[in-house]
Amino acid sequence: MFNFENPFGKKDKAEQPLPPKPISQAEKFFEKPACFSATIASEGHPDRNEDDFFVNQENGLFGVFDGVGGERDGAEASRIAKDLVTEFLKYNLSDDNLEQIKESLRESLVIANNRLTEQTAGKTTASVVKIWEDPIGAKKAIIGNVGDSRVYVLRNGQLSQLTIDDNIVRQRYKNNNEAARQVQKRLNNTVDAQRLTADEVLLFNNRNVIYNFLGQKDFNPNIMVFDLLPGDEILLCSDGVSDNLTDLQIEGLLKESVPTDPAKKLIDQALMISRQGQARSKLDDMTAVVVELSDHREKMMKSKDHSENQRLKHLKIGTSVKVQRSSGKIESGWTIGYFEDGYYLVYKKNGLQILDKRVKQADLEKINLSKELSLEELERDIRVAGTTDEILSVLGNISGLQGSQRFYTSNELCEMIKKISVGELSINYLPRTAGLREKVISLIK
């Protein structure tokens, strides 16, 4: 019978101090897994996020929940399920043996399912992972899963989906998990539905229809165990990430060695694709939790913090900046989203649309950090220049010039002058602004 006074069966245990256990070099990778997490609400309903997640690094517990059906109840369902699962495992999860952990994960999901069903409080997916060390020091991931929130592992640069979505594919191959995995893998990397067979198109278009979730009477959680190795990375994510990104894209983002937050990187890329109208594009809540069984990336990020902050001390995340469009026009009102690999990602709202653009660090900083000369100052510097090299030096200190027809960037102007100097371009292409054309004519003569 369910005990309402002690709903999770909390046990009073006498704590016995244990002697310290020797830790090998390999085991040090596993002492406390590094973890990165990120979530964002769908741009279709930015006022609510129907995903939820938890991270408990100390006990090696991680979970992702995704409210089902795009209804307001979804946000409440994912929250209730997360709270019930974490509270139950807090008092009932023991590291004594594998079977007990599997049963605790199963029971936590059953309790969450029963509560949602009894209260008709909505439906949600769930993926819960426990990182466990057995008596001989081997590491395992014990997974409790229902729905299409996924668990992946990246090992030696190769990504594998550990869970199988409880969707139309699993229904089709009910008694053949290997066949289901193969079909799932093909759909996971589809970017052009025209390359699929008619049957595969049906599966692809209906891949988000799930048959197993928390909040239904006929409920059956999937419990599985996976052996871990030093250097493995575990990814838990909602379908907002895995629907927009292919497995190959996820793999590429996770195995990049640059010291950036991999969870945020996954969300940023999935969000960008969701806006592009591709076959995989879908507005949705997005959540990613990345667990690394090595703290190398975390250490790299910490060691990079000082120099990165110095480099970005003027252009911080969230700063409003001017951006040069492809037409050459300098446009204000853009915002920095993040910085990575020498590029800023900037975005701007345009009515109901959100525009985004990757800009080279040097280009954005030149426009926004350089002190622009007034037209009078520019005319003066051009007038006193004695050689074309001095003209190029002057132009290198500005973002560009507005001509009679369009805006010319500094780089464009310099290239034009170089070609004019060797007879490859007519002087008439150079704008007259600030006396530039006349000065170049006089210097060439």
- Same-domain check for residues 139 and 223: yes
Locus of tokens 């699962």? 85
Lowest mean pLDDT among 7-16, 155-164, 246-255, 338-347: 7-16
DSSP conformational letter for 189: T
Residue 346 sits in the same domain as residue 279: no
- Identify the CATH number of the domain in which residue 338 sits: 2.30.30.10
Mean pLDDT, the chain, rounded, equals: 82
Boundary (domain end) residue, out of 303, 336, 358: 303
Please give the residue range of the domain that contains residue 55: 27-167+208-303
| Residue 284: inside a domain | yes
- Residue at 177 is within a domain: no
How far CA 393 is from CA of 5, 361, 387, 413, in Å, comes to 78, 20, 10, 11
Q: pLDDT class for 377, splitting at 50, 70, 90?
A: confident
Element of type H or E holding 63? strand 61-66
Tell me: do 98 and 216 sit in the same domain: yes
Query: Is the residue at 49 inside a domain?
Result: yes
Same domain, 109 and 250: yes
Q: Is the pLDDT of residue 147 over 90?
A: yes
The answer as to whether 17 is a domain residue is no
- Given 369, 395, 411, which residue is the final one in a domain? 369
In this prediction, residue 296 carries a pLDDT of 52
Does the residue 437 lie in any domain? yes
Q: Are residues 333 and 408 in the same domain?
A: no
Strand order in the sheet with 51-56: 51-56, 61-66, 126-133, 139-146, 222-227
Please indicate, yes or no, whether residues 224 and 158 belong to a single structural domain of this protein.
yes
133 within domain boundaries: yes
Q: Are 109 and 144 in contact (CB under 8 A)?
A: yes
**Same domain, yes or no: 67 and 154:** yes
pLDDT band at 96 (very low <50, low <70, confident <90, very high): confident
What tens digit of pLDDT does each residue of 209-224 get?
A: 999 999 998 888 999 9
**Confidence tier at 312 by pLDDT (50, 70, 90):** very low
Question: Between 348 and 23, whose confidence is greater?
Answer: 348
DSSP string covering 125-156, please? Answer: -EEEEEEEE-TTS-EEEEEEEESS-EEEEEET
- Tokens representing 438 are 């006349």
In this structure, are 141 and 281 located in the same domain? Answer: yes
Whether 316 is in a domain gets the answer: yes
Domain closes at, from 303, 332, 348 = 303
Model pTM? 0.63
Same domain, 146 and 224: yes
* Tokens representing residue 402 in the block: 């507005």
Average pLDDT over residues 300-325: 59
Mark whether 365 and 381 lie in a shared domain: no
Q: Is the pLDDT of residue 29 over 50?
A: no
Into how many domains does the chain fold? Answer: 3
In a domain, 15, yes or no: no
Does pLDDT of 207 surpass 80?
yes
> What pLDDT was estimated at residue 218?
85
Residue 354 sits in the same domain as residue 394: no
- What crossing angle do the helices spanning 388-395 and 375-384 adopt, rounded to 10°? 160
Pick the range with the lowest mean pLDDT from 12-26, 163-177, 263-277, 411-425. 12-26
One domain, residues 284 and 358: no
CATH assignment of the domain containing 116: 3.60.40.10
